[in-house]
Amino acid sequence: MAAKILDGKRLSATIEQELQERVRVLKSAGHTPILATILVGSDPASATYVRMKGNACQRVGMESLRIELPSETTTETLLSNIAGLNANPDVHGILLQHPVPEQIDERSCFDAIDLGKDVDGVTCLGFGKMSMGESVYGSATPAGIMTLLDRYEIPLKGKHAVVVGRSPILGKPMAMMLLNAHATVTICHSRTQGLEQIVAQGDIVVGAVGRPELIKGAWIKPGAVVIDAGYHPGGIGDVELSVAKNHCSAYTPVPGGVGPMTIATLIEQCVSAAEAYYGMGN
């Protein structure tokens, strides 16, 4: 039997259709959700990501407020901009595009974002609340992966999930979300000894390490579910999907798997934040 493709591009389009109705209800009451995006510097990839998020806002009927700062921006200046957005009642979500120039204390700036507007799920407080099972906006990429697994009815309870990667906005929150969904979770990284043997135990394998095809397809056990959160030049991910897809039960394509779900989740969480602010949520 051919492996099931977990089509994030198609699912994100469905989610956007659902969001259009929620935004319509908000706007009928005189409220337009607004996502503020902050781009520091002129990195072309970051500029592309910000533009894609702005386009997604437009598709669902939201508005976006784009803040562009020069590459020589200081931490203090960035913090001042974030404080202004925190205080702006018309802004419901704040996205600080990663990475920022090296002279900026990125963690301090992330943590300065108001928790109620942290729709990208980047604050330490948000991570802590999520890890403890509290209601909070999750880090967008792992939260998008969880939505993908849920909508495709991939069972998690009691399964062994192997997460390869430990970044604060992907690997670590991914592991906590899977743990909260009653999976048994092993966290690995590029320095893990015996990585091949650990990956081979995974019922669900998440590639989130940021190295092209570090996870070999032959390591994936037959019937496992493969989530590839990596994207590298040439359209390859962190997993050797060309081999893995021949014997896994389901996988996310690269591109078109995890990436679209990240943006859809960011937009959905911004709509939720607007609904919460105006007392119109479920």
Q: What is the pTM of this model?
A: 0.96
End-to-end CA distance of the chain: 40
Banded pLDDT at 281 (limits 50, 70, 90): confident
- Residues 147, 141: Cα–Cα separation, whole Å: 10
Banded pLDDT at 282 (limits 50, 70, 90): low
Q: What is the mean pLDDT of residues 239-256?
A: 97
Q: What is the mean pLDDT of residues 250-271?
A: 98
Cβ(192)–Cβ(171) under 8 Å?
no
Mean pLDDT, the chain, integer:
97
**Alpha carbon distances (Å) from 259 to 8, 57, 58, 86, 177:** 7, 16, 18, 27, 18
**pLDDT digit string, tens, across residues 191-235:** 999 999 999 999 999 999 999 999 999 999 999 999 999 999 999
**pLDDT digit string, tens, across residues 142-185:** 999 999 999 999 999 999 999 999 999 999 999 999 999 999 99
**pLDDT digit string, tens, across residues 100-144:** 999 999 999 999 999 999 999 999 999 999 999 999 999 999 999
Task: Please determine, for residue 1, whether its predicted confidence score (pLDDT) is greater than 80.
Answer: no
- Which residues participate in catalysis according to the annotation? 53, 97, 120
pLDDT of residue 157: 98
In this prediction, what percent of the chain has a pLDDT beyond 90?
Answer: 97
- Exposed/middle/buried for residue 36 (C-beta within 10 Å: 0-12, 13-18, 19+): buried
Please, what are the domains in the chain? 31-126 (3.40.50.10860), 140-260 (3.40.50.720)
